[in-house]
Amino acid sequence: MGIASLVCMVAILLLCAVITYNRLVRLRNHCSEAWSNVDTELRRRYDLIPNLVEVVKGYAAHEKGLFEEVTQRRQACMESAGSPGRRAETENTLVRAVLPLLARVEDYPELKADKSFLELQHELVNTEDRIQAARRFYNGNVRELNNRIQMFPSSIVARAMGFAQEDFFEIENLVERALPDVQLQP
């Protein structure tokens, strides 16, 4: 009876380890898939930015330094590799470079009415929404994986099999949605 019980316990522990390992693999693959979705949306943004720069250039030719900075930051983002945390740093520099470009629109009323610019602006807002949705999905998967890696008893299997925690992807939103100032007269 003692040997049969011991064999049964070892079999149960082995089965639990295999199930835990498979869950960790599945979560890691979900994170990879979600990151691929984020990357796809970021590339969509990279494709829109040169068009935005060209349209604004036509109206604000004297903003050459701003256009060059946006172009350089976009290129740096496209070449960026590494962890999502590292990519987030690069993405945030792009966001900070594009925001002044969008702010310049206020100085050019004819640009605000330009059909090409309005279409690009709409696509940019749409792309930013898609980036945020993909980012939330990715971060949710990362949270689940990191929880499994940190929680007992799956942490034992994770450590033994070399699973590492993933970085969250936190970036600033390129298109800020500010509520209009409403002042009521008494």
Q: Answer whether residue 8 is part of any domain.
A: no
What CATH number corresponds to the domain at position 87?
Answer: 1.20.1440.20
Residue-level pLDDT at 175:
61
Residue 1 pLDDT:
65
pLDDT, tens digit, 9 for 90 and up, residues 20-62: 999 999 999 999 999 999 999 999 999 999 988 888 888 777 7
In a domain, 13, yes or no: no
- Examine residue 9 and state whether it is found in any structural domain, yes or no: no
Residue 183 lies in a domain: no
Quick check: is 91 in a domain? yes
- What range defines the domain where residue 148 resides? 31-160
With helix as H, strand as E and coil as C, how does the chain read? CHHHHHHHHHHHHHHHHHHHHHHHHHHHHHHHHHHHHHHHHHHHHHHHHHHHHHHHHHHCCCCHHHHHHHHHHHHHHHHCCCCHHHHHHHHHHHHHHHHHHHHHHHHCHHHHCCHHHHHHHHHHHHHHHHHHHHHHHHHHHHHHHHHHHHCCCHHHHHHHCCCCCCCCCCCCCCCCCCCCCCCCCC
Q: Is residue 54 part of a domain?
A: yes
pTM comes to 0.82
Is residue 124 one of the residues assigned to a domain?
Answer: yes
Whether 18 maps to a domain, the answer reads no
Q: Which residues of the chain fall short of a pLDDT of 50? A: 177-184, 186
pLDDT for the residue 61: 73
Q: Total structural domains in the chain? A: 1
Q: What pLDDT, on the 0 to 100 scale, is given for residue 184?
A: 43
